[in-house]
Amino acid sequence: MTVDLLYHDPALVDFYDLMNTGDAELRRCMALAGEARSVLDLGCGTGQLAVALADGRAVVGVDPAAAMLDVARRRPGGDKVHWVEADARTVRLGRTFDLIVLTGHAFQVFLTQEDRLAVLRTIAAHLAPGGHFLFDTRNPKIEEWREWTPERSQETVQHPRFGTVKSWNDVRMDAVDVATYWTYYEIAATGQLLTAKSKIAFPSQEEVASAIETAGLAVETWFGDWQGGACTPTAREIIPFGRLR
């Protein structure tokens, strides 16, 4: 995978928490964590979920982007989490966890079946007996990428440091299940334009299920949203919650 500036450029990372609140996601993960005493957050990003889960738990946050981890370490409560700069496909920590999460659609940055299987094998290698895993990916049947045009995605936000910022996206489908999209932030006070080019995949539920089984995992429940709804053909999300097979 090429380096995505959206996660590696400190100026762009500065917008991440502003544009990605993930409140419903956080609440569902906290509820499903239950009595788990140890958590591995793969693709932890800026650490919002990892820090929330660290209250009374041993939490490790893994991400390949140093800029994201810099924000995570500075976050209030960031000292409660052990942060590791590593790739979810290859990291091996030599320990197991009661809960492993991979949220924020991070699963979609893995563009090939081979890479997705590698990530799932990482999960299997680190999952304790009786433990659970949880991750999310957008349902390709909804074709959410159609909303990522300049006309439909444009919004104005107030950044705590930059002031008024106009943001928008653009998108191109490169294949049936892979999209290239561009993120733009225009700072009103200076006219500066920050941009990033990203690629993500949209695997089907059938593809995800097959890879999960191949990795030695089993799904207990398929959610279709972070409120706990069923994973139907019209659900926006594909969220497997499962265990070792």
Q: Using the Cα atoms of residue 215, residue 221, residue 222 and residue 224 in order, give the sign of their dihedral.
A: negative
The whole-angstrom separation of Cα 134 and Cα 16 is: 22
36 phi and psi angles, rounded to 5 deg: -55, 135
Question: Are residues 149 and 100 part of one domain?
Answer: no
Q: What is the mean pLDDT of residues 53-73?
A: 97
CATH number, domain of 30, equals 3.40.50.150
Angle between helices 205-214 and 113-126 (to 10 degrees): 50
Question: Are residues 102 and 24 part of one domain?
Answer: yes
Question: Are residues 236 and 116 part of one domain?
Answer: yes
As a whole-number percent, the residues of the chain with pLDDT over 90 amount to 96
pLDDT at 2 over 90: no
Question: Are residues 70 and 31 part of one domain?
Answer: yes
pLDDT at 1 over 70: no
> pLDDT per residue over 5-39, tens digit each?
999 999 999 999 999 887 899 999 999 999 999 99
Among 2-6, 107-111, 114-118, the least confident range: 2-6
Residue 3, pLDDT score: 83
Question: Are residues 127 and 15 part of one domain?
Answer: yes
* Beta bridge partner(s), residue 132: 99
Residue 228, pLDDT score: 95
Q: What is the mean pLDDT of residues 215-242?
A: 97
Residue 20, pLDDT score: 87
Boundaries of domain holding 79: 5-140+203-244
Both structure tokens of 126: 């680190």
Question: Are residues 236 and 165 part of one domain?
Answer: no
Question: Are residues 212 and 154 part of one domain?
Answer: no
Contacts of 95 (CB under 8 A, 6+ apart): 126
As a whole-number percent, the residues of the chain with pLDDT over 70 amount to 100
Neighbours of 167 (CB within 10 A): 18
Residue 22, pLDDT score: 78
Question: Are residues 147 and 135 part of one domain?
Answer: no
Output the CA–CA distances (angstroms, integers) from residue 240 to 40, 72, 86, in the order listed.
16, 26, 23
Number of domains comprising the chain: 2
Contacts of 149 (CB under 8 A, 6+ apart): 169, 170, 171
